[in-house]
Amino acid sequence: MTATSPHLANPPLSVPDISVVELRKTLPVAGNDFVLEVKFNLDAGITILYGPSGAGKTTLLDCIAGLTPPDAGRVVIADRTFFDCQRGTNLPVQRRRVGYVFQNLALFPHLSAEQNIAYGLADVEPSERRTKTSAILESFRIAHVHDHKPSEISGGEQQRVALARALVTDPCVLLLDEPLAALDAITKAKIIDDLRAWNQMHRVPILYVTHSREEVFALGERVLVLDHGRIIAQGTPQAVMSAPRQETVAQLAGFENIFTATVIAAHEDRGTMTCRIAGSTVEMETPLVRAAEAGSTLRIGIRAGDILLATIQPRGLSARNLIPGRIVSLEQRDVTVVARVDCGAVTEVHLTLAARDSLELRPGCEVWLIVKTHSCHIMAGGMIE
Amino acid sequence: MDWQAFWLSIRLAVLVAAILFVAGLPIAYWIAYSRWRWKFLVEAVVALPIVLPPTVLGFYVLVALGSRSPLGRWWQSLTGHTLAFTFAGLVIGSIVYSLPFAVQPFAAAFTLVDPKLRAASSVLGASKLRTFVRVVLPLSVPGLVTGVALSFAHTMGEFGVVLMVGGNIPGVTRTVSIDIYDRVQAFDYAAANQTALVLLAISFVSLCLVYGMNRKMWTVWPWKERP
């Protein structure tokens, strides 16, 4: 209540800047045109933009940066109108003060790291330009390569130079197009830390394109999922990723098993339904979906980590799905064992090394799959027509 | 050997290459980056001298420079004499004749510059001119060298256009190739051979310069190995 009192002696809390992106862009593609049509608000902090390739992510960034003019709509970033179709506003790209890290980084190959970073500071007084450049070289830990050309430094250093070049200009919005895609996990984690630190200090909207699930959770305060030019889901990483309603999101969230299934019977009283997996006789009990009627087709997603394995038929379990099968293959990935089990449909199960050894699992073993009803996620998605 | 003709040819070629370097850049820029749907018409016109017989080109240039054309009249009112059969007329004819040899390598080099680099430059606040000077030009150096060297070598060896526009006035319009033609007409094969050899050497050396330098460019940059 006190915060809204008009009689406060203190200056009022600063009103957050408004950023709205609402646009339509048609790209001519052989066959039928690709249409990007999105509407969202952009808050200060990191917003993850996820989508399969061809979803329109880069086109969206280009529209915000001013490299591609939208056909309609408006782009307002931190109260500054970049583009407004109705009012005929289209701020030239040079005057938008956008920080943009391109997918291939687009470092100038003939300029040194330092010259690359200073490039956007042409209007700044030379002494201040030097101060700013060396400060950011220092804080991104690339001072030792300041006179090297991009081709002479490592991938991680190139990434840092690209990031520093965008950040040094004090952008009012930051667009990052898979900036860390090519890096190993350790380098990635360090750069993410740098980016978070910068974000803490500046609090501008950051739109971050990625394919990586780890990056979504490591960075995101919000996720936008883009598919076929439209936003199909948005929210916090936890909300979007733990209960995905769309297949695109399910893949992002790590549903290794996605089956097409037919509804056999709905059990209104129990809140469940029985579904048969297409191409098999396997029947599963899943949570009830209101719209589903007997005979309708849907998709079921199950995380490989949510499935238990037993070598003898278990009894006295609350889990409703006990499915017999045979191990097809076992593959060790890092500290996880990926088992592929044929139970009519091939299912991926993730185990620990210890579990594999104590159960003496090997290809050909007869096993039981145990799946809780609520581990079966029913989703709408691409495959249902 | 006719050193006067040599000196004249070199002066002409250097001047033409220099003018084409300056004039060719904006034309090449436009050809490389314009999205105008009729652009191909301009490209065809620029490339015409490659396929057109030099006599045809020379004929039209002669007509354009003559006292009946607006350009010829304007020049005459300015200087009191016509452009035809003068060194200045020769320069104009050669510029037209060698234009594609400068513009095409320039434009090819500009199109090879990654569009993302130009986009990055714009995003960082650079005007189109600054992007051109700071990014496109430095990354097009091999193409620029090629264009300048080719227009120089091409002008050095031109014959038909010179004959049509300039005639054969010693010290004013008699170039090396005209000189060679004269010697052959006079059955002085030894002198013709001497001059021809020197011309051959000059052409060979300038082409070696182009290819040698381009190769060096590409081997040290941008895929230079880490030290």
Q: Tell me the pLDDT of chain B averaged across its residues.
A: 87
Confirm whether B44 is domain-assigned: no
CA–CA gap between residue A312 and residue B116 (Å, rounded): 60
User: Residue B219: what pLDDT?
Assistant: 42
Domain-embedded: residue B46? no
- Better-scored residue on pLDDT, B99 or A139: B99
State mean pLDDT over A33-59: 88
Interval A197-224 mean pLDDT: 81
What confidence score (pLDDT) does residue A73 get? 93
Question: Cβ of A331: how many Cβ atoms within 10 Å?
Answer: 10
Residue whose C-alpha is closest to residue B206's, from B10, B5, B4, B52:
B10
DSSP secondary structure string, A238-293? HHHHHS--BHHHHHHHT--EEEEEEEEEEETTTTEEEEEETTS--EEEEE--TT--
- What does the pLDDT read at residue A117? 95
Q: Considering chain A, what is the average pLDDT of its residues?
A: 85
pLDDT over 70 (residue A108): yes
Per-domain residue ranges of chain A:
13-246, 255-379
pLDDT digits (tens, 9 = 90+) for A259-268: 888 899 888 8
Q: Is A360 on the interface with B (CB under 8 A)?
A: no
Question: Tens of pLDDT along A173-210?
Answer: 999 998 887 777 777 778 888 888 888 888 889 999 98
Weakest mean pLDDT among B51-65, B66-80, B112-126: B66-80
Amino acid A14: pLDDT = 53
Q: Is residue B104 over pLDDT 90? A: yes
Can you tell me the distance from the alpha carbon of A258 to that of A225, in angstroms, rounded to the nearest whole number?
19
Contact assessment for residue A66 and residue A8, using Cβ atoms and an 8 Å cutoff: no
CA-nearest residue to A165 within chain B is B124
* Residue of B79 and A9 predicted with greater confidence: B79
Q: Is the pTM of this model over 0.80?
A: no
Provide the pLDDT for residue A4.
Answer: 43
Q: Using CB atoms within 10 A of its CB, is residue A186 exposed (0-12), middle (13-18) or buried (19+)?
A: exposed
Is residue B223 included in any domain, yes or no?
no
- The rounded percent of chain A whose pLDDT value lies above 70 is 91
3-state secondary structure of A330: strand
Domain contains B158: yes
pLDDT at B218: 46
Q: Could you tell me the sign of the dihedral formed by the alpha carbons of B158, B163, B169, B170, in that order? A: positive
CA distance to partner chain B, nearest, from residue A285 (Å): 52
**B127 contacts on A by Cβ (under 8 Å):** 94
Residue A383 pLDDT: 35
Taking only the tens place, the pLDDT of each residue in A274-321 is: 999 988 888 999 988 877 778 888 888 888 888 999 999 888 888 889
CA B156 from centroid of its chain's CA atoms: 10
Residue in this structure with the two tokens 């009519």, named with its chain if needed: A344
Looking at chain A, list the stretches that DSSP marks H as alpha helix, in order from N- to C-terminal side: 57-65, 113-118, 126-139, 155-167, 185-202, 213-219, 237-242, 247-253, 353-358
Peptide bond into A363 cis (omega under 30): no
Strand A321-333 with A366-371, pairing: antiparallel
Per-residue confidence band for A10, with pLDDT thresholds at 50, 70 and 90: very low
Q: In chain A, what residues touch B223 (CB-CB under 8 Å)?
A: 151
CA–CA min distance A95, chain B (Å): 6
* B8 in Cβ contact with B171 (< 8 Å): yes
The Cα of B48 is separated from the nearest Cα of chain A by a number of Å equal to: 33
pLDDT band for A40, please (50, 70, 90 cuts).
Answer: very high
Are residues A326 and A346 in contact, defined by beta-carbon separation less than 8 angstroms? no
Q: Is the pLDDT of residue B91 over 80?
A: yes
- Give the count of domains, chain B: 1
| ipTM tops 0.90 | no
Specify whether the CB–CB gap between A169 and A99 falls below 8 A. yes
Please name the member of B114, B126, B221 whose beta carbon is closest to the beta carbon of A122.
B126
Q: What is the CATH number of the domain that holds B8?
A: 1.10.3720.10
Provide the pLDDT confidence category of residue A15 given band limits of 50, 70 and 90.
low
B169 occurs within a structural domain: yes
> Would you mind telling me the total number of residues written for chain A in this entry?
385
**Tokens standing for residue A21:** 């992106």
- Return the structure tokens found at B85: 């059969």
Q: Which amino acid is at A230?
A: R
Which residues, at least 6 apart from A360, have a Cβ–Cβ distance to it below 8 Å?
A311
Give B-chain residues touching A98 at CB under 8 angstroms.
Answer: 123
Q: Is A28 on the interface with B (CB under 8 A)?
A: no
Domain A255-379 annotated CATH 2.40.50.100: yes
A-chain residue closest to B138, CA distance: A110
The reply to whether A217 touches chain B by the CB within 8 Å rule is no
**Cα–Cα nearest to B161, from B67, B70, B24, B60:** B60
The CB density around residue B189, as the number of other CB atoms within 10 Å, is: 11
Which is higher by pLDDT, A344 or A93? Answer: A93
**Distances from the Cα of A329 to the Cαs of A337, A369, B6, in angstroms?**
10, 15, 82
On whether the CB atoms of residues A140 and A163 are closer than 8 A, the answer is: yes
Which tokens in the block code for residue A88? 């005929």
Band (A161; pLDDT cuts 50, 70, 90): very high
pLDDT band at B101 (very low <50, low <70, confident <90, very high): very high
> In chain B, what residues touch A152 (CB-CB under 8 Å)?
224, 226-227
Q: Which residue has the tokens 């050809």?
A: B31
What pLDDT is attached to residue A232? 86
- Nearest chain B residue to A98 by CA distance is B123
- Are the C-beta atoms of residues A365 and A326 closer than 8 Å to each other? yes
Would you state the pLDDT for residue B172? 82
> Taking residues A212-221, what's their average pLDDT?
72
The sheet that has A98-101: what strands, in order across it? A98-101, A173-177, A205-209, A45-50, A222-227, A230-235
Task: Tell me which residue range forms the domain holding B130.
Answer: 3-35+53-218
pLDDT for B146-205, tens place per residue? 899 999 999 988 888 888 888 878 878 888 888 899 899 999 999 899 889 988 998 888
Instruction: Tell me, yes or no, if A94 comes closer than 8 A to chain B by beta carbon.
Output: yes
Question: How many helices and strands in chain A, by DSSP H and E?
Answer: 9, 21
Q: Is the pLDDT of residue A12 over 80?
A: no
Q: Do B123 and A165 touch (CB under 8 A)?
A: no
Q: Which CATH architecture has domain A13-246?
A: 3-Layer(aba) Sandwich (3.40)
If you search the block for the tokens 């190739």, which residue do you land on? B177
Neighbouring-strand partners of residue A81:
A76
> For residue range A69-89, what is the model confidence (pLDDT) as tens digits?
999 999 999 889 999 989 999
Residue B8, pLDDT > 70, answer yes
Residue indicated by tokens 């607006």: B70
